[in-house]
Chains A and B, each alone.
Chain A
Amino acid sequence: NAGVTQTPKFQVLKTGQSMTLQCAQDMNHEYMSWYRQDPGMGLRLIHYSVGAGITDQGEVPNGYNVSRSTTEDFPLRLLSAAPSQTSVYFCASSRTRGNTEAFFGQGTRLTVV
């Protein structure tokens, strides 16, 4: 059972470039979310989805887009990368919103130069 798979693990972008961080889960979870983790800031919620076709903003959504066309996949798109988006990004899924256990991917370390 793969759980939550994130790709790539590492990425370097130039300012202004766009890219998509991939996230897939094989547990048939309804709820998926994206976080960014910065030193001293903990985890901040970027976007989340309560099911296929439904997405909503978290606390730091600016500069990011998401879509949820299937239950399994929840990609995060950076439209025009900025140095302030240098961070470690985590995708997580759980059976339902606020359910007891969230499963996390291994993270994507993104550097924007």
Chain B
Amino acid sequence: GEDVEQSLFLSVREGDSSVINCTYTDSSSTYLYWYKQEPGAGLQLLTYIFSNMDMKQDQRLTVLLNKKDKHLSLRIADTQTGDSAIYFCAETPLRRKIIFGKGTRLHILP
């Protein structure tokens, strides 16, 4: 079946790196995504990776994709208080629809 799993909570000290992990089930997904939801707002696309890539870097964000294990991770370097949000992993199996994980709430400790 189609499922995207991620842990629900992560606490990180300000200035440290945050690593949010996700596993997915459908190997046909062309793109895998990370969305960010700030309090009281809708989701916003943070970054995405094409399925034939292993890594994508964009400023403080690094996305790693392990297709063999169907594992996706998002690393945020030098985590700031503004990074406090819920992060959703998502896939698009056979480009039919977007399937979201339940979201990981990132809490920043001072």
- What residues of chain A lie closer than 8 Å to B42, measured between beta carbons? 4, 90, 92, 104-107
- Asked if B43 contacts A102 (CB within 8 A), the reply is yes
- What residues of chain A lie closer than 8 Å to B30, measured between beta carbons? 98
- Asked if B41 contacts A40 (CB within 8 A), the reply is no
Segment at the A interface, from B62-70, B76-84, B96-104? B96-104
Closest Cβ of chain A to B35, distance in Å, is: 8
Interface residues of A in 23-51 (CB under 8 A from B): 33, 40-43, 45, 48
- Bound-state Cα–Cα, A23 to B43, Å: 15
- What residues of chain A lie closer than 8 Å to B33, measured between beta carbons? 100
- Asked if A90 contacts B43 (CB within 8 A), the reply is yes
Closest Cβ of chain A to B28, distance in Å, is: 11
With A42-B88, A42-B101 as contacts: A104 and B44 at CB distance below 8 Å: yes
Closest Cβ of chain A to B94, distance in Å, is: 8
Closest Cβ of chain B to A71, distance in Å, is: 19
- Asked if A42 contacts B103 (CB within 8 A), the reply is yes
Size of chain B's interface in residues, with CB distance under 8 A? 23
- Asked if B43 contacts A101 (CB within 8 A), the reply is no
- Asked if A100 contacts B31 (CB within 8 A), the reply is yes
- What residues of chain B lie closer than 8 Å to A96, measured between beta carbons? 95
Closest Cβ of chain B to A105, distance in Å, is: 5
- Asked if A107 contacts B96 (CB within 8 A), the reply is no
Interface residues of A in 78-112 (CB under 8 A from B): 90, 92, 94, 96-102, 104-107
Indicate whether B92 reaches chain A with its CB closer than 8 angstroms.
yes
- Asked if A98 contacts B101 (CB within 8 A), the reply is no
- Asked if B98 contacts A98 (CB within 8 A), the reply is yes
Least CB separation from A90: chain B residue:
B42
**16 additional contacts (CB under 8 A) given A42-B103, A98-B31, A104-B44:** A40-B102, A41-B102, A42-B101, A43-B43, A43-B103, A45-B97, A58-B97, A94-B98, A97-B96, A98-B92, A98-B96, A100-B48, A101-B48, A102-B43, A106-B40, A107-B40
**Residues of chain B whose beta carbon lies under 8 Å from any beta carbon of chain A:** 8, 30-31, 33, 35, 40-45, 48, 88, 92, 94-98, 100-103
